[in-house]
Amino acid sequence: MQLNRISAIWTLAHVAAELDGDEDWLCDIIGEMEPEDGVIRVYGPPLGEDGTIAFSASGVENLRNLIDIHKAKRS
């Protein structure tokens, strides 16, 4: 998959609901991700000044991998 051909993004709220995750906990994990990992910040009404975090398809997969790593560390 070419990273410069993103046709859809998913918001943090959507991904958290899909993964049955806590948005605050995911925000801590997302801090380890870079734009080249498929995470971006989206700005515009009604999102407010801080915007929201969103993911490309590869970003969702990278987040899933980070979640697995963090869950393994907690065990």
Q: Which of 35, 5, 1, 46 is nearest to 13 (CA)?
A: 46
Q: Which of 21, 2, 1, 4 is nearest to 13 (CA)?
A: 21
pLDDT for the residue numbered 58: 93
Confidence at 1, pLDDT banded by 50, 70, 90: low
User: pLDDT (tens digit, 9 = 90+) per residue, 12-36?
Assistant: 999 999 987 789 999 989 999 999 9
User: pLDDT (tens digit, 9 = 90+) per residue, 30-62?
Assistant: 999 999 999 999 998 876 778 889 999 999 999
Q: Are 12 and 24 in contact (CB under 8 A)?
A: no
The helix (run of H) or strand (run of E) holding residue 72 is: helix 57-74
Give every CB contact of residue 22 below 8 A, 6+ residues apart in sequence: 16
